[in-house]
Structure 1
Amino acid sequence: MVNVPRRVVITGASGNVGTALLRLLAAQQPAPAVTTIARRTPPATAPYDGAQWHPLDLARDDAHTKLVPLLQGADAVVHLAIAFQPARDRDYLRRTAVAGTHAVARAARDAHVDHLVHLSSAAVYSPGAYGDQVDEQWPRRGMRRSIYSVDKVAEEDVLDGIDAASATDDQAPLIVTRLRPGLIAQHDEATALLRYTAPAFVPRSVTRRIPGLPVLPLDRTLTLPVVHTDDVADAVMQALLHRAPGAFNIAAEDPLTATMIGVAFDAHVVHVPARASSVVADVAWSLHLSPVHRGWIDLAYATPLVDCTRAHTTLSWHPRHDAEAVIDELVTGIRSRSRSTSAVLGERSPIDRVRKLLTAGPLTRRKLP
């Protein structure tokens, strides 16, 4: 028999998956006590008002020390925290992702928590099987030009070390569950997605017209694993209930294709080779005309599809949304400027837009990992 944990600690709870997970945990009977850790505390509105919030930036050098007392007495820790901004501060992104994961995992062991659920990504998988399904044993070297992929691989390397340490000391082992979802999307993520992808100088009136574009430049071979945010939250819940160690692929049964995207946006897909899109993205990034690093384009055409059999059989997890439903919901969210009340999923204020525009900095040469 599986039971809902009595007390759960969640990092990054104000984000996309965290928001959905808070809704899901609040619906449990009995609902667990939830401690949440994030850089910024969201307003006391549903679903954030049912948790005890502690502001903490995991990129801080003292993050581990701050975390240990917050994790003591918890039945499980769910590590969702990730930073996408500032996109050009490579050191900060790395410290949040890798050093932050190290701090959380070490603190979980030092606080004698026996279960850690880590949100990884299908982006950890090595290129070479694009369009084909791979299981959790596929090589895990990631995409070299993608900062996100490189850091996700490094996070799992950290967990490998934690697993090894747990197996050799006298302390009760820390069960580590790694979830590897495809592209995660939902209705309320739309505004945040536009904020991450549209330059600060682009008026909101322009971004509102995106769903009505007549043409959409995409490589027709685009084939991505995708999953609804609520389905990822459900996978986290099943991981908490089953307490199974190891990695689990998480995705909708069918992949997201260029044709599906064109239909959702009511646009004609014009074939533009992936390599050309990558070059354009690189030039636009270098000129500070776009906040989208070329690594995201490269990753879209390198990430394989994923076989979720292990999640089905071990976690009893099955997606409720197919790929078409996911992209349709996201586009609907873009049309309606859907958002949450948290700073992560909310609208950028006019002051923030001006500040972003003024502090974007001069032309720079960046160092890729």
Structure 2
Amino acid sequence: MPDPAPLDLAITTGEPAGIGPDITIGALLQFAANHGGNVGHGGAVRFHVIGDARLLDQRAEALGVAHAWARRIADGDVIVEDIALGVHCEPGRLDARNGHYVLALLDAAVDGLRTGRYAAMITAPVQKSTINDAGVPFSGHTEYLAECAGVPRVVMMLAGPQPAHDNAMLRVALATTHLPLRAVPDALNIPMLVETLAIVDADLRRNFGIARPRILVTGLNPHAGESGHMGREEIDVISPALEQARDADIDARGPYPADTLFQPRHLRDADCVLAMYHDQGLAPLKYGTFGHGVNITLGLPFIRTSVDHGTALDLAGTGRAEHGSMIEAIRCAITMAGHASGRHSNGRADNGISNGQH
């Protein structure tokens, strides 16, 4: 029986002045050393690194891995899809003239996903200010990719292993993302929450192989509103939305007080937590998993994973940037693409992130 075709994954290298090129190079070199090309999805993986080829070579030279990087390219398991910088870039020095270059990387990956050339995309961090300074309103990868895909709603979910708890997985999705805190209550409504829960449920089934996801939902207010004494959103919005979701055969439970929900005894049998706003969900997740977490966009017609950190301009080109989160984003994309393509057929999902060595 012939070997299956390689799984082609796109990696966008992000802000050129940041650590995106560094962690891409470091992760792919470690990945090749650890896996030898076979990663357990049923075949080999081929990585398409989208970025300026000269910049990548310069950064590999600065990191002391130029020979190893050239060998990966020569072996054919890493293909550099060369897109030229707007202007020359120095590590750590932002230049708005490269804002359109960063967006061109994303557009190239999306085009490849639309045509079936790529099975998933993994994104290195971008600097929002550079893109905005280039004259393009930009609030983040999540919103930009939703616009590219033409979908009305996507959901940000972060996931990572909890080493202190036998590497149990913690997945946290967000009802709202990049909003000022004072705007969050007005953004919550019953149809939005029902749609958000439906997206989370569908992607956990399709891309993680979870037959019936169990989703725990936080309240908005302290103590989940204290029976209306600390706010009525739980009574008027969140609870009715959960009831409608359950009527649609979504196993959504809550609302629970957020200050006590993130404990192993509550999370043990949960597949995901839906938090009402950014810091409510991501503060506990990043505390427990930072450096090995993955940012996943749910609700897109393609698979997108990313790192759980920013551009770290002060570390670019120094060799001090950690690439553990990029490794996990790659592993997660492989797992999700395997489930979506039917290459995984093992019933209950694997973690979507390896529990092995980083």
In the superposition, the TM-score normalised over structure 1's length comes to 0.36
